[in-house]
Amino acid sequence: MSETPLRADAARNRELLLDSAVRLFAARGPDAPLEDVAAAAGVGVATLYRRFPTREDLLLAVADRKMDAYEQVLRTAQAIADPWTAFASYVENFCAAQAADGRLADILTMVFPAAREFEARRMALYNGYLALVRDAQAAGALRADYSPEDLPVLLMANAGVLRATAETAPGAWKRFVAYMLQAFCASHQREDLPPAPTPRQMMRSMQQVTACHGRSAPDAR
């Protein structure tokens, strides 16, 4: 059975709440009081709970909006003919989106490992990324020992850089990512690397981050 479309005013309120949640969560993290989200949207708390009965529902909706942006990063890379430039574009733009997210990056870490609603989109994004990796390696531009799991490690490290430099050196992440791309480039390869984490290890790492967020979060009403 298809969902009943929202009335115009209900749809407008939903978008106002999402806009507000994106701004507040980016600035204050996913534990920002939902009352503040409603106030910033100019609606009552009861309206928020009608649209999003739980904090998780709101986090999922915010993450869904952010997934749109990450899918655009992939489409931009896929439109580039040169395999290395396409791969580098994906990494740079993904990290740029992460930088623009502020503390929304915490939401993506919290939501994606567990939310089945995102499985198809996440896998399509991942498979598109894998194709970029294969093409760049086949062209001899990306070092042969690069592992797809190196990107999640880079994103975790970049999240730390962003948190540490957000107020004092907000562009520091760009230099860090440029250094990493040089390390990934086959022409800069100097020596063999230690083994990359396995996909299972990376998933468990992300779940551990999620668990830590859950232990430190206040009442999620």
For residues 121 and 187, membership in a common domain is answered with: yes
For residues 208 and 145, membership in a common domain is answered with: yes
pLDDT of 216 over the 60 cut: no
pLDDT tens figures, 179-209: 899 999 998 766 565 676 678 776 776 666 5
Domain that holds residue 7: 1-53
DSSP the chain: -PPPPPPHHHHHHHHHHHHHHHHHHHHH-TTS-HHHHHHHHTS-HHHHHHH-SSHHHHHHHHHHHHHHHHHHHHHHHHT-SSHHHHHHHHHHHHHHHHHHHTTHHHHHHHHTTT-GGGHHHHHHHHHHHHHHHHHHHHTT-B-TT--TTHHHHHHHHHHHHHHHHTTT-TTHHHHHHHHHHHHHBGGG--SPPPPPPPHHHHHHHHHHHHHHHHHH-----
For residues 23 and 80, membership in a common domain is answered with: no
For residues 40 and 66, membership in a common domain is answered with: no
Give pLDDT, residue 188: 76
For residues 44 and 70, membership in a common domain is answered with: no
For residues 96 and 149, membership in a common domain is answered with: yes
CB 151 within 8 A of CB 90: no
Alpha carbon distance 65, 70 (integer Å): 9
For residues 21 and 91, membership in a common domain is answered with: no
The CATH number of the domain holding residue 147 is 1.10.357
Alpha carbon distance 80, 91 (integer Å): 13
Give the number of domains in the chain: 2
Last residue of a domain, one of 53, 71, 92: 53
The CATH number of the domain holding residue 1 is 1.10.10.60
| Max mean pLDDT range (18-32, 40-54, 161-175) | 40-54
Give pLDDT, residue 221: 40
Give pLDDT, residue 217: 47
Give the residue among 63, 201, 193 at the shortest CA–CA distance from 52: 63
Q: Which residue has the higher pLDDT, 150 or 9?
A: 150
CB 38 within 8 A of CB 48: yes
Q: Which residue has the higher pLDDT, 181 or 165?
A: 181
C-alpha distances out from residue 219 to 16, 31, 50, 54, Å: 24, 9, 19, 11
For residues 138 and 195, membership in a common domain is answered with: yes
pLDDT band at 156 (very low <50, low <70, confident <90, very high): confident
Here the tokens at position 67 are 């997934």
Neighbour-count burial of 38, counting CB atoms closer than 10 A to its CB (0-12 exposed, 13-18 middle, 19+ buried): buried
For residues 191 and 149, membership in a common domain is answered with: yes
Alpha carbon distance 168, 11 (integer Å): 39
